[in-house]
A and B are shown apart, each in its own frame.
Chain A
């Protein structure tokens, strides 16, 4: 609770700081505030918090995910000073909106009441609709904002529809009531199935599961890179944990499992195959994030006891690698006069071997090569799927992991090619630090995964 308050107050405070138009203090203030919030979260580790008459529950899963999101948000904010260096106006608002969105993430991590789920999704999303249009004069940015808003509203409608059906059945928004209701059901219940289905569909949109993935490439590409980074990391973590809390209570009834398995297969197939054809780095990351969502849904499908820790490990390490790579992408983009194709990474190894090796490690982690965290993450998902007996779905996942390795390695290859014309990569010290931290964390978590499991 205290963390929620701290972050909300922090966001308001940051808004006021905007009055003084001194943007140098914004990032330090935000990061310090987040450190405080993380410390508060950590201090509540052993005390399960039951808040607002049982509408929120900061149990272990919620606390761990909230801390993960806060840490990743700190890394994203640490990229802020450099990213906004050339921007004069509305910088404080951007920080504040991201903080509000993070509050939504915390709600999603801890909800136990369907109303809170809805509230969390909205608090998470509404700032993002604004943020996606952050570059006011860019058509792509405006398109991203509008598209995200329209499609997001549809998803919200689905979600509300599902919540309504479930409320109609049980007469309560509480997940505990729903759980007991479902346990008492012997015969299949059409209304219940539709309720579960609609909630799942609404959440699947946020995760970016096929066929609700269409917003991802356009929004990723159009949004300012910093916002894209935030969406690809914190928002994904929030959406996944929200869905996890839902499935944790409902379990995986037969009717839901078939839909979910179909969703997993489609997401893995479409995400990976379309990623193969991408030449724009941001779109590549968008489609590959669809494919990662497929793996996350596979873990949810298995729905064993350890699924929470697996999801946290997967999303957290994915977020680390993604933050590092998007910063590297911005560096390369600037060096190439704003180009976004994959070729902008050419010559990085010759110019800055340390950064190139970091990029290599991060890409290999996303690809899931052994000794990186990404491999451990995928392996956990496979273990879960085998344990739950989804052998064929998992075999398909393995095949798709292979496709994933291909396109990541193709990006990695660019790093070592000579540049066509001389380019200078300028790495701001703070950015270099964040990238190095991400790389070290990804490798360390790959070598000693027992830390997080």
Chain B
């Protein structure tokens, strides 16, 4: 019942917003209330979780194709649910200080998206997963098409087609594997995991499925939609895309590739790790060269996602739990960074570093908040990113020691571009900016987020305990690894 409520509450709130079209302030209030309600429910799920997978709803839908309504969660799914629930109040809250467009419509679209995201992470049937997976796309598509920045039309269409291509590849794979299950066909994850597909099928099917998730994250060389889209999108849209929707890729890799195609994943893992790490370093280098703050954050997001994907494909406890842990840390971080980018844009009217600089003396409080976030971004000890990066590097080291070298390069590059960005935004000659310092509302949003960063940094087990058992279970299917 709680699970159904998680999808229905945002959905009902969104429909209410669409039907009543209230003023922007009321709309935001309603959206915020709905998101806080789902947050409370999710935290309750987390609190009562006892380490076993839960299946709450189980109905037939279209029996002929194994399409069934099955909702539930494992520890990994719960982590994603918590991530979605924690971030959406902040994403909706961003609208208070940095409003876009028509308040009722924007918030309705965000809530639709949240409902679909909850659905993705709860679906225990591949078909249901696919439907929610595609449904997340529609609200974002309209959000971007309507309220995006320069060149919104061409960029949005490219993003839409790119991700649809991945989605259709996924649909193709789902249809194929469902037909391989014994009659009556079932697309439930449990039924699909029980399949023992021949090696040659696993080898090509791996790429059909990987394409969908690689585009979503994105992973080099399927990333070309990402920087433009993140830069052009309104802040809230970018937050949803980078902080939550990208994580569908990570989640998909774990529930689809690792469980249905273990041999295929093991066979191709070197290629995937190579692509991901190359992409991560490539993105980090490009990030360093950016003169646009938002685009820099976009590339840094891509760099982090690449590292996470590489860690997952190390296929050991450290790598997988590190990658999953980092999805949470990265999500929180992205909301912080894009919020700060939005604040800067409001103050100087541009994302370009050329317009910034020397703002520290005028806005000391903002400088402090930004410093704390940067500390997280470069994985200082005691921040939330530190345990994650440590786990990921250990995982890669266990796979191939020299891969950890790439990790070291990434740390150094990450520190360079983030600190360099900080320097270009805040330090330098005083330009006597007249813009105001961070105000109460902005503190109200950033302080809790930073508090989460440090809380999780100090007690990483809050997150790690969720994924421990499922990861061990997952690894059992890889016992025959070379």
Contact between B164 and A402 (Cβ–Cβ < 8 Å)? yes
Contact between B160 and A382 (Cβ–Cβ < 8 Å)? no
Contact between B161 and A398 (Cβ–Cβ < 8 Å)? no
Contact between A406 and B157 (Cβ–Cβ < 8 Å)? yes
In the bound assembly, the distance between CA atoms of A413 and B160 in angstroms comes to 13
Q: Given A370-B135, A386-B176, are A398 and B157 also a contact pair (CB < 8 Å)?
A: no
Nearest neighbor of B130 in chain A, beta-carbon distance: A370
Q: How large is the interface on B (under 10, 10 to 19, 20 to 34, 35 or more residues)?
A: 20 to 34
Shortest Cβ distance from B136 into chain A, in angstroms? 11
Q: How large is the interface on A (under 10, 10 to 19, 20 to 34, 35 or more residues)?
A: 20 to 34
In the bound assembly, the distance between CA atoms of A453 and B62 in angstroms comes to 9
Q: Which residues does chain A contribute within 8 Å of B171, judged by CB atoms?
A: 379, 382, 398
A370 is contacted by which of B64, B131, B178 (Cβ under 8 Å)?
B131
Residue A44 at the B interface, CB < 8 A?
A: no
Q: Which residues does chain B contribute within 8 Å of A379, judged by CB atoms?
A: 65, 171, 175
Contact between B65 and A402 (Cβ–Cβ < 8 Å)? no
Q: Which residues does chain B contribute within 8 Å of A413, judged by CB atoms?
A: 145
Q: Given A370-B130, A402-B161, A406-B161, are A382 and B175 also a contact pair (CB < 8 Å)?
A: yes
Contact between A402 and B168 (Cβ–Cβ < 8 Å)? yes
Contact between A450 and B62 (Cβ–Cβ < 8 Å)? yes
Contact between B176 and A401 (Cβ–Cβ < 8 Å)? no
Residue A444 at the B interface, CB < 8 A?
A: no
Residue A395 at the B interface, CB < 8 A?
A: yes
Nearest neighbor of A416 in chain B, beta-carbon distance: B146
Residue A161 at the B interface, CB < 8 A?
A: no
Q: Which of B178-200 contact A (CB under 8 A)?
A: 178-179
Contact between B168 and A371 (Cβ–Cβ < 8 Å)? no
Q: Which residues does chain A contribute within 8 Å of B179, judged by CB atoms?
A: 383, 386-387
In the bound assembly, the distance between CA atoms of A386 and B134 in angstroms comes to 21
Contact between A402 and B165 (Cβ–Cβ < 8 Å)? yes
Residue A369 at the B interface, CB < 8 A?
A: yes
Q: Which residues does chain A contribute within 8 Å of B444, judged by CB atoms?
A: none
Contact between B63 and A450 (Cβ–Cβ < 8 Å)? yes
In the bound assembly, the distance between CA atoms of A306 and B62 in angstroms comes to 15
Contact between A394 and B172 (Cβ–Cβ < 8 Å)? yes
Residue A405 at the B interface, CB < 8 A?
A: yes
Residue B36 at the A interface, CB < 8 A?
A: no
Residue B44 at the A interface, CB < 8 A?
A: no
Q: Which residues does chain B contribute within 8 Å of A406, judged by CB atoms?
A: 157, 161
Nearest neighbor of A403 in chain B, beta-carbon distance: B161
Contact between A398 and B160 (Cβ–Cβ < 8 Å)? no
Contact between A395 and B172 (Cβ–Cβ < 8 Å)? yes
Q: What does the 1/0 interface line of A68-101 toward B look like (CB < 8 Å)?
A: 0000000000000000000000000000000000
Taking A371-B131, A382-B172, A453-B64 as known contacts, 18 extra A-B pairs with beta carbons closer than 8 A to each other, sorted by chain A number, are A369-B138, A370-B130, A371-B135, A379-B65, A382-B171, A383-B65, A391-B176, A398-B168, A398-B172, A401-B168, A402-B168, A405-B161, A405-B164, A406-B157, A406-B161, A409-B160, A450-B62, A450-B64
B-binding residues in A (CB < 8 A):
306, 369-371, 376, 379-380, 382-383, 386-387, 391, 394-395, 398-399, 401-402, 405-406, 409, 413, 416, 448-450, 453
29 contacts between A and B (CB under 8 A): A306-B64, A369-B134, A369-B138, A370-B130, A371-B131, A371-B135, A379-B171, A382-B171, A382-B172, A382-B175, A383-B65, A383-B175, A383-B179, A386-B172, A386-B175, A386-B176, A387-B179, A394-B172, A398-B169, A398-B171, A399-B165, A401-B168, A402-B165, A402-B168, A413-B145, A416-B146, A448-B61, A450-B62, A453-B64
